[in-house]
Amino acid sequence: MSKNYVKTSTGTWEVVIGLEVHTQIKTNSKLFSGAATTFAGEPNSQVSFVDAAMPGMLPVPNKACIEQTVKTGLALNALINLVSVFDRKNYFYPDLPQGYQISQLYHPIVGPGYLEIDIDDTVKKIGIERIHIEQDAGKSVHDVMPSSSLIDLNRSGIGLMEIVTQPDIRSGEEAMEFIRKLRLLLWYLGTSDANMEEGSLRADVNISMHRPGTPFGTRAEIKNVNSIRFIGQAIEYEINRQIGLLEEGEQVVQETRLFDAAKGVTRSMRGKEDAQDYRYFPDPDLLPVILDEGFVQGLKDSLPELPDQKKKRFMESYGLSKYDASVIISDIRTPTYFESAVKNAGEKEGTAKLIANWVTTELFRVLKEESLEIDQSKIPAASLAELVNLIQDGTISGRTAKEVFLDMWTTGKPAKIIVEEKGLLQISNTSELEQLAENVIQENPDVVQKYKAGKDKLLGFFVGKMMQLTGGKANPKIVNEILVKKLSE
Amino acid sequence: MAINRSDIKRIEKLAKLKLSEEKIDDFSVRISRVFDWVDQLKEVDVEGVAPMASPLMDLQKHTTGLREDTVTDGDRVHDVIQNAPSSQHNSFVVPKVVE
């Protein structure tokens, strides 16, 4: 029985979710014009006559939009349609100057594919139905003038990819993981910034409830959810709302709903009681996009190493645990830092694992405290490598290293200099430590007696004494060996 | 195929237009004629003929021209909004629409 099932007093329910993800294609210029795509420019400063839909202006597709979408499709293991066609989706809204959005309904550029997500240590395949290219609309600003809205067309005509999944998702957690994984993939590919704060990635969530083993229920569509957390919350709310209706013997209405983030609820969009009729037809201003196999193959050959491949390689060639590898690959900059540190440290047994440890614990902690990205780290990869080398060759203990690390962060000095200046060199000199051990044993005959009588744990007492005498600089491994040997004499 | 008044009222709503009663009558007659002509076209046998996205569509030859991805336009706020009936803050001003 699936753990995703929702059990109530009337029995078991299953949620069925499909996502439509709209994400801005990363390009310099718009889908059909030469205006810039930069975020937050002055109102209407990034608008050409095409974007403002001035009479007689004609769209010319941006080659990069096609390439970026095909690359995304290839990374999603999808079929690339060598012939795709632009259609007009007709509706009237003030931020849509053309009176229609140019999209691809009947012949999208990318067909079926899939994305694998990790859920509770198992891999689940989420089917991709299609990806099509379409124009973004402009922005309405409602809060500047009391009885009018302002229209800024900077966003109008920017290229979007709409990535549509199959209804394969069975929980809010799966939906959130899908978005996280997709976003990471887009970052690796460089095909979209997928920045939810700037609105460059938004999702429509289709959701329905049914009894397992019976046909799918009627779905509601929650529009434009713009954060991963909100997607989880909206789904959670919608599951309870729909179960409530169905258990009361009522019907779920097929409708568009909005997620109200402040209240954590979804509500029906007013004024949408009539089913929309978009009257799609092929855009007569545009010819079909016809690609040849060579073009697609070229893009396939240019794909970078993708998150799953990188994770696998980190586990295989550096011996990282699945967890550490997943943490390191989960943004685009950390792998570069990590690999640079490993390269600088040199290939030794356990070096990479030790570096992974330092990166994911100490380094991540200080970066988070100062809200820095890893490429702004005050400790460059090569310096971390040097610190790790000092630990590995026994120059300093792991405990001392943490102190050195913080000094490196604040002073910017290399590890070696700090160790020398502060006299933190680990004492690994056996004869020196043997003499010390002898003294400690002589001074505590009663404890020695108890130890010899079988209280093994008292070894810690002697180790502690020696650490105290050396200011924590004694090599703990050697201290242990010496003490065990001497105490058994 | 006859287009009746309720069809016209639906189109009126979709296009956010406001038509007078006479115009509605007038349009239902005129648009009906267009549909009659389309009905006539439907008599042609197109069995096995692929739909055509463009009269220029010849799969082997006529793909769309593509632009290189460079910024060549924009930075012309005045040109863009100068014909707007109303503008403020370099933006088009429209009746308040919150949906």
Report pLDDT digits (tens) over B20-32: 999 999 999 999 9
Instruction: Please tell me the predicted confidence (pLDDT) of residue A270.
Output: 58
Question: Can you give the residue ranges of every domain in chain A?
Answer: 5-299, 307-422, 430-487
- Domain that includes residue B22, residue range: 5-42
Provide the b/e sequence for A440-477 (b: ≥16 CB within 10 Å). bbeebeebbeebeeeeeebeebbbebbbeebebbbbee
pLDDT confidence bin for A64, thresholds 50/70/90: very high
Structure tokens given for A307: 């998150």
Instruction: Please tell me the predicted confidence (pLDDT) of residue A79.
Output: 98
Quote ipTM for the complex: 0.86
Q: Looking at per-residue confidence, does A273 or A483 come out higher?
A: A483
Cβ contact (<8 Å) for A94 and B71?
Answer: no
Kindly state whether residue B20 falls inside one of the protein's structural domains: yes
CA atoms within 13 A on the CB side of A65: 32
Instruction: Please tell me the predicted confidence (pLDDT) of residue A478.
Output: 84
List chain A residues with CB under 8 Å of B71: 28-29, 34-36
Domain count, chain B: 1
Instruction: Please tell me the predicted confidence (pLDDT) of residue B83.
Output: 92
Instruction: Please tell me the predicted confidence (pLDDT) of residue B57.
Output: 64
Mean pLDDT of A199-215: 93
CB atoms within 10 A of CB A489: 5
Kindly state whether residue B22 falls inside one of the protein's structural domains: yes
A277-316 pLDDT tens trace: 899 999 999 999 999 999 999 999 999 999 999 999 999 9
Distance CA A444, CA A280 (A): 92
Determine contact, residues A142/B98, Cβ cutoff 8 Å. Answer: yes
CB atoms within 10 A of CB A484: 12
Determine contact, residues A35/A46, Cβ cutoff 8 Å. Answer: yes
Distance CA A314, CA A326 (A): 9
Does A264 have pLDDT greater than 70?
Answer: yes
Instruction: Please tell me the predicted confidence (pLDDT) of residue B44.
Output: 94
∠ CA A256-A213-A177, nearest 5°, is: 55
Structure tokens given for A338: 């990590």
pLDDT confidence bin for B1, thresholds 50/70/90: low
A319-349 pLDDT tens trace: 999 999 999 999 999 999 999 999 999 978 8
A96 touches chain B (CB under 8 A): no
∠ CA A119-A122-A16, nearest 5°, is: 50
Structure tokens given for A191: 């095909």
The SS3 call for residue A20 is strand
The crossing angle, in degrees rounded to 10, of helices A430-443 and A476-487 is 50
Cβ contact (<8 Å) for A49 and B91?
Answer: no
Please report, for the domain that includes residue B31, its CATH number.
Answer: 1.10.20
Does A275 have pLDDT greater than 70?
Answer: no
**Residue with structure tokens 């100068």?**
B82
A103 touches chain B (CB under 8 A): no
Task: Give every CB contact of residue A420 below 8 A, 6+ residues apart in sequence.
Answer: none
Looking at domain A430-487, does it have CATH number 3.10.310.30?
A: no
Cβ contact (<8 Å) for A145 and B88?
Answer: yes
Instruction: Please tell me the predicted confidence (pLDDT) of residue B39.
Output: 92
B49 touches chain A (CB under 8 A): no
User: For B66, which of A27, A66, A284 is closest by C-beta distance?
Assistant: A66
Kindly state whether residue B13 falls inside one of the protein's structural domains: yes
B76 touches chain A (CB under 8 A): yes
* Continuous H helices in A52-171: 63-75
A127-159 pLDDT tens trace: 999 999 999 999 999 989 989 999 999 999 999
∠ CA A51-A54-A60, nearest 5°, is: 50
Listed residue (A253, A288, A265) closest to A82, CA to CA: A288
